[in-house]
Amino acid sequence: MEQIRDTFVEWLRDAHAAEKQALTMLGSQAGRIENYPALKARIEQHIQETESQVAALEGLLERYSTGSSMIKDATGRMMAFAQGMSGMTASDEVVKGGLFSYSFEHMEIASYQILIATARRLGDTEAVSVLERIFDQEVDMANWLQDNMDSVVNEYLTRLEQNVEAKR
């Protein structure tokens, strides 16, 4: 049980670091988008959700008496992945951003599924419900991206064809 508990706390910390990273990336994406208002609005909504996810994860970590001082920025692992985001200066930045976000949300879905299974093993029903709420927000964001990817791509291609600023 203690091994499982320690593993759970470590994975919670990973998720916390990933969400902090997500806040930075979503913030810079939303700040740069000019011509894709629906995408910008959805990202801004997800920034709000992500802020509440960070707080919820900190709440769970505190319950396992690892105060915020123990919340290390184990972002190293995430950083490499986030490099994919360096498509930011690309001429197709909005499309590359969509590609990255689509992948990132699915990675988050997998991470929370893992955390939920682990919380169940610990019999921590409160953590299960907190994590399920976060999981649902990630699924909603992933579904939105799936449903709106075609329109973003088509808008990008149309702008390209019309020689108006398309990249963001």
Separation of alpha carbons 44 and 30, rounded Å: 6
Site string for Fe ion, 58-97 (x = CB under 5 A): ----------------------------------------
Least distance in Å: CB of 102 to Mg ion?
14
Instruction: Report CA 22 to chain centroid distance, whole Å.
Output: 5
Is residue 108 within the footprint of Fe ion (CB under 5 A)?
Answer: yes
Q: Would you call 120 helix, strand, or coil by DSSP?
A: helix
Contact positions vs Mg ion (CB under 5 A): 50, 53, 108
- For 81-93, the DSSP string reads HHGGGGGGGSTTH
Closest among 134, 130, 127, 153 to 46, alpha carbons compared: 134
Is residue 138 within the footprint of Fe ion (CB under 5 A)?
Answer: yes
Is residue 19 within the footprint of Fe ion (CB under 5 A)?
Answer: no
Q: Which is nearer to Fe ion, 14 or 108 (CB)?
A: 108
Q: Which is nearer to Fe ion, 53 or 166 (CB)?
A: 53
Q: Which is nearer to Fe ion, 21 or 118 (CB)?
A: 21
Least distance in Å: CB of 37 to Mg ion?
22
Q: Which is nearer to Fe ion, 101 or 118 (CB)?
A: 101
Is residue 124 within the footprint of Fe ion (CB under 5 A)?
Answer: no
Q: Which is nearer to Mg ion, 111 or 118 (CB)?
A: 111
Instruction: Report CA 103 to chain centroid distance, whole Å.
Output: 9
Closest among 109, 102, 127 to 12, alpha carbons compared: 127
Least distance in Å: CB of 74 to Fe ion?
18
Pseudo-torsion of CA 85, 13, 105, 87, nearest 10°? Answer: 0
Is residue 14 within the footprint of Fe ion (CB under 5 A)?
Answer: no
Least distance in Å: CB of 140 to Fe ion?
9
Separation of alpha carbons 14 and 72, rounded Å: 9
